[in-house]
Amino acid sequence: MSQTPQVAAPPAIPGAGGIVVNGLRRSFGDVRAVRDITFEARPGRVTALIGPNGAGKTTLLLMLATLLTPDAGTISVGGHDPVTSPSAVRRVMGWMPDALGSWNALSVRRAIEVTALLYGMTTERARERADELLSLVSLESLAQAPTRALSRGQKQRLSLARALVHDPSVLLLDEPASGLDPAARVALRELVRGLARDGRTVLVSSHVLAELEELADDAVYVEGGASVSAERLARAGAAARPWRIRSIDPAHLSWSIADLGVPTADVSTIGDAVLLPFASDDEAASFLAELVRRGVRVTAFAPAIGDFERTFQGLGDVDGAA
């Protein structure tokens, strides 16, 4: 992705790359879909947008993508305001919606070319760009297929190709991995990480937290239309999380756990692994040392859930407004 943009974007505000959102609000009639969202997504990093169903994520993305006007608050995308300078934002921003739009009759190649033409590229350059992107998202073999014939995962890849046509510096990805098979997910992760490494700002919305753990550097949590405060996040992130423990001798492991005074209610099993909650990494490390000291032959000892998931689950347990 080292293409020179074919459409020169107006100069962005120096030092104002990335996405900066402050006090954003948007209602639909009586429904306050977004009531107070504030966050920053920085260039060179992948930022996860995390929240339960109906939290306001899609409404937020639509406002960032210039497709919906906020009722209040400010937005800067790559240094431009989507409300006052929507065309400038569209030039620097690539948007991958959670479902590919129509254009059913067009071939895959043509769908990319037409997008490139809409961004003002010449016919020749649009063709070249289609070649580059078909290869990038591994759709060369389907270049002539009508887009209606694509599977869900193939449509996702075409959608990503279209979002990248104009080599944007800011990328908004809504559930990008949905429908992708495991190999395509790994390829997507590597592609997105590479795009961020090159200095782009990437904001990814997904419900699959395990996937975001491997993809994102930072996270913004949204709940009931509002971004969650740093203070609440810190409390949620401090909640105990389960660790998965395995041993060559499961009976010795179980017996030692009981002998160490762990309440039975805290112990659960998945297959041949034991799950135990620890309040901190320090507590987990001490417990492991004790197991080893007792001669338990431990083969695996690791958190069963990642940081994003622990925080997400912890938010359900801590009190207080977002």
Ligand X SMILES: Nc1ncnc2c1ncn2[C@@H]1O[C@H](COP(=O)(O)OP(=O)(O)OP(=O)(O)O)[C@@H](O)[C@H]1O
Interacting residue ranges for ligand X, rule: CB under 6 A: 28, 31, 33, 51, 53-59
Which residue lies nearer to ligand X by CB, 28 or 255? Answer: 28
CB of 55 to ligand X, least distance (A): 4
CA distance 111 to 92: 20
CB of 13 to ligand X, least distance (A): 28
Which residue lies nearer to ligand X by CB, 215 or 245? Answer: 215
User: Which residues touch 8 (CB under 8 Å, ≥6 apart)?
Assistant: none
User: Which residues touch 85 (CB under 8 Å, ≥6 apart)?
Assistant: 10
The pair of structure tokens assigned to 5 is 């943009």
CA distance 227 to 126: 39
CB of 59 to ligand X, least distance (A): 3
CB of 56 to ligand X, least distance (A): 4
Please give the biggest Cα pair distance in the chain.
Answer: 74
Which residue lies nearer to ligand X by CB, 137 or 222? Answer: 222
Which residue lies nearer to ligand X by CB, 93 or 220? Answer: 220
Q: Which long-range contacts (CB under 8 A, 24 or more apart) does 128-136 make?
A: 129/3, 129/6, 129/165, 132/3, 133/161, 133/164, 133/165, 134/108, 134/109, 134/161, 136/1, 136/161, 136/164, 136/191
Of 170, 179, 176, 207, the residue nearest 190 (C-alpha): 176
The pair of structure tokens assigned to 119 is 């961004």
Q: Specify the DSSP element, H or E, that contains 77.
A: strand 72-77
CB of 98 to ligand X, least distance (A): 7
Coil, strand, or helix at residue 103?
coil
CB of 209 to ligand X, least distance (A): 13
Which residue lies nearer to ligand X by CB, 98 or 132? Answer: 98
Coil, strand, or helix at residue 191?
helix
Which residue lies nearer to ligand X by CB, 116 or 220? Answer: 220
Which residue lies nearer to ligand X by CB, 55 or 273? Answer: 55
Instruction: Give phi and psi for 82, each to the nearest 5.
Output: -60, -25
Whether 307 and 221 have beta carbons less than 8 Å apart is answered as no
Which residue lies nearer to ligand X by CB, 23 or 54? Answer: 54
CB of 102 to ligand X, least distance (A): 19
CA distance 59 to 233: 22
Which residue lies nearer to ligand X by CB, 115 or 311? Answer: 311
Whether 308 and 216 have beta carbons less than 8 Å apart is answered as yes
CB of 316 to ligand X, least distance (A): 16
CB of 101 to ligand X, least distance (A): 17
